[in-house]
Amino acid sequence: MAHDRRGTQDRQGTQDLRGARDRRGTGARRTGAMTRASVRRGSAPRPSRSEEEEGTEGGGRLRFVKSPTTWLLGILLAVVTVTFQDVLTASVKAVLPLDRVPDRLSPQGAIDVVEVRDVKDIGYYVVRDGEGADDGRLREQIASGQPWREGRDVVDAGDADWMITVQGRASQQVRITDIVPVLEGGACEKPLGGSLAHFPSQGVSDVIPLELVVDAPRPRLETYGKDGKDGKDAKPFFTGPEAKHITLNQNETEAFVVHATAETGYCRWRYRVHYEIGGTTAEMTISGPGGRPFELTARLADPSGYRKVYFPALDCVHPGAWSPGDWYEQTGPEYARARSDGKVPPCPKA
């Protein structure tokens, strides 16, 4: 019987071994262990992060951004940066001359022309022939102080005064080194005819006076010396051994009056301004009112060439009491005959 039990056990073991081999052949694994293949495919389940852990990490970053300390550090950093820039700029300006520091504004825009205004005092004007030149109301408007130039083509005659006001726009100092008149067409023309008017106008402020003989062979701006307004004492303003210049700081304005004269022709021109800023040179153009060229005509050598002449009582001898508002009108030939002997004639009958 012992022999039979051993035989039975041997058969049972053989059957169990075969079943195990059959199960390995099918590849079916019942265990939860990961194989190398499953690791490579990533098929194995991964442990998920808990919502508490994610919330803790995200909340930490958010708390850092919202932290008062972070905001204070950011503000402090901005203040330090701005202060450093200001200190650096001040140091550069202290070491370099003011006109050698580069400017953020383009050199072409460093000067702004604030105003160009005709401020002629007492003098002559020519009213060109055309609209409004002979409407019969000119003497009445002049005598009453009305705006007689409106609607008429009027040109300064003999001399003219223009006040030019400029302003510095750059953060660095601008130095005007020269102002040169540039004639339209390169030369003056013959004097204008029309009607001549002689009367006082508005005064001139206390500004830099400059002189210009616009129909000279080489016109340039000049200034008078200490001896007063004597043409022989006029000297170049921007050139020569006593050369001067005009400086403009930021937002600083400077006004100067150019007193121009013409003796032989009718001239139209603009001014070319040369200046320095930040170690560089630049140019700009100054035109007359309305962007038009400045213009000035010489008076005719023979006043009979004028259509009419208008003048106040100061230009003639009045037989009795007179008023500053008294004005007279004559034709050009009449005016010329009355003054042919070089004396002041009697006032014509009204």
Among 301, 295, 282, smallest CA distance to 196 is for 301
Q: What is the pLDDT of residue 158?
A: 95
Q: How deeply is 209 buried, as exposed, middle or buried, from its count of CB atoms within 10 A (0-12, 13-18, 19+)? A: middle
pLDDT at 338: 94
- DSSP annotation of 207: -
Q: Which helix (H) or strand (E) element contains residue 15?
A: helix 2-26
- 108 is written with which tokens? 């072409």
Provide the pLDDT for residue 27.
45
- Asked whether 327 and 313 are in contact (CB, 8 A), the reply is yes
Out of 27-41, 42-56, 122-136, 326-340, least confident range: 27-41
- pLDDT value, residue 2: 46
Name the range with the highest mean pLDDT among 50-64, 92-106, 177-191, 218-232: 177-191
Backbone angles phi, psi at 274, to 5 degrees: -105, 135
pLDDT of residue 65: 52
Give the pLDDT confidence score for residue 32 in this predicted structure. Answer: 44
DSSP letter string over 97-116?
Answer: -GGGS--SS-GGGSEEEEEE
What percent of the chain is predicted at pLDDT more than 90?
36
pTM > 0.75: yes or no: no
Mean pLDDT for 207-231 is 72
Q: With contact defined as beta carbons under 8 Å apart, do 300 and 306 qualify?
A: yes
Segment 11-24, tens digit of pLDDT:
554 555 454 445 44
| Band of residue 34 on the pLDDT scale cut at 50, 70, 90 | very low
What is the pLDDT, as a whole number, of residue 298?
A: 97
Whole-angstrom distance, CA of residue 43 vs CA of residue 34: 9
DSSP 191: P
Q: Work out the pLDDT band at 268, boundaries 50, 70, 90.
A: very high
The predicted pLDDT at position 96 comes to: 45
Which residue did the predictor score with more confidence, 32 or 193?
Answer: 193
* Alpha carbons 288 and 294: distance in angstroms, whole number: 5
pLDDT-wise least confident of 70-79, 106-115, 207-216, 286-295? 70-79
**Phi and psi dihedrals of 87, rounded to 5?**
-65, -40
Task: Give one word for 12, left, alpha or beta, with left for phi > 0 and alpha for psi -120 to 50.
Answer: alpha
Using the predicted structure, report yes or no on whether residue 295 has a pLDDT greater than 80: yes
Residues in the chain: 350
